[in-house]
Structure 1
Amino acid sequence: MSIESVQKECCDHYQAIYAPVEPTQLVTISKGIYEGLTPVEGVRYPSPNHMSGWWLTTDEYDGNTSSLVTVHFEHIIEKRPELAIYMALPFGYRFNLGGESEHVWFDQAVADESI
């Protein structure tokens, strides 16, 4: 099954508009994302076109934004395909994944943030 089809299923499941990320758009990540750590928190902020808006963090993130890095979405697909499934959810969506638990919701305050 393609990443596009599972993303569409995810959006349908949460009754959200399908808003895919282009492979070359940037995703902001913390330490632990590439290493496969959980739990993972994801949030999609309104962003300029070169950015996806997604910020993905693990418990390794200490709140210091200078420790975050930006990577192309295509690398998230390669390294963490289980996270890429959620990344066609539109601005304002959040998810928490940890072990067997999954929590996805819309956060109006995030959606209302200015670029």
Structure 2
Amino acid sequence: MDVCRRVGATPQPVTARDKLGVSREALSGEWPLNGVRLAAEGGTCGWYVWSGGEMSDDDDFFVPMHVEHLLKARPEVARYLSLPVGWRFLVAPDHEDVWFS
């Protein structure tokens, strides 16, 4: 919630059991870590998280995962997951960008 307050966004929290899309590379610990929240659809909360550069539009780039499992693998994303639809983040050690797109 602190990130939402800092950027002036109205929080839209997720629950541990919500589903999101995550790339396999993001789970391996690769940096930078990117996230974008799109409109919820297909039983997801709208979050897509990946590492490296641009996200791919390959059908198998993202795998479905519950938020609780992502947070075990990449706890650093927890502070961003209350950002509402349209917000993005890019983080790496000693770096953070948060913006509305």
- Please give the TM-score of this superposition, normalised by the length of structure 2: 0.87
Q: Which residue of 2 aligns with 1:106?
A: 100
CA distance in structure 1 between the partners assigned to 2:28 and 2:45 by the alignment: 21
CA distance in structure 2 between the partners assigned to 1:33 and 1:87 by the alignment: 15
CA distance in structure 1 between the partners assigned to 2:21 and 2:73 by the alignment: 14
CA distance in structure 1 between the partners assigned to 2:5 and 2:73 by the alignment: 24
Q: 2:66 corresponds to which letter in structure 1?
A: H
Q: Which has the higher contact order (CA 8 A, sep 6+)?
A: 2
1:69 aligns with 2:69: no
How many residues are aligned here?
100
CA distance in structure 1 between the partners assigned to 2:41 and 2:57 by the alignment: 22
Q: CA deviation at 1:42?
A: 0.5
1:52 aligns with 2:45: yes
Instruction: Label 1:47 to 1:98 Cα distance change in 2 as closer, same or farther (>3 A).
Output: same
Instruction: Label 1:58 to 1:65 Cα distance change in 2 as closer, same or farther (>3 A).
Output: farther
Tell me which structure has the larger Cα radius of gyration.
Answer: 1
Q: Which residue of 2 aligns with 1:24?
A: 17
Cα-Cα RMSD? 1.8
Q: Which portions of structure 1, spanning 4 or more consecutive aligned residues, are displaced by more than 3 angstroms?
A: 60-63
- Please give the TM-score of this superposition, normalised by the length of structure 1: 0.78
Structure 2 stretches lacking a partner, 5+ long: none
CA distance in structure 2 between the partners assigned to 1:98 and 1:65 by the alignment: 26
Q: CA deviation at 1:25?
A: 1.1
CA distance in structure 1 between the partners assigned to 2:39 and 2:56 by the alignment: 23
Greater strand percent: which structure? Answer: 2
1:79 aligns with 2:73: yes
